[in-house]
Amino acid sequence: MVKVIIVFLVVVLHNDDTVKINSKIVDVCPNQLRFTTTMNQKILDKKIQHWEATCFNVRMKKRNKGMTL
């Protein structure tokens, strides 16, 4: 049996040069235009320096002792 999960990953470079990475399992990927607009506004407001995000499927095969990629 194969289970597909959707992972949303965001990497943010803050003004103090620290990097924050967030990932979350989601039911659907967020609206790309809305998310891009929000994050770009944070750059314009000088709240962050840069950001990247992606949303992708991960296929997991169920075996007798748990899940595997």
Position 67 confidence tier, pLDDT thresholds 50, 70, 90: low
Quick one: pLDDT at residue 3?
92
Q: Does pLDDT of 44 surpass 80?
A: yes
**Structural domain for 58, as ranges:** 2-68
Total domain count for the chain? 1
Whole-number Å distance between alpha carbons of 51 and 32:
13
0.85 cut: is pTM over it? Answer: no
Quick one: pLDDT at residue 63?
75
Quick one: pLDDT at residue 57?
97
Whole-number Å distance between alpha carbons of 5 and 59:
7
Whole-number Å distance between alpha carbons of 18 and 47:
12
Assign 3-class secondary structure to 9-54.
EEEEEECCCCEEEEEEEECCCCCHHHHHHHHHHHHHCCCEEEEEEE
Quick one: pLDDT at residue 62?
78
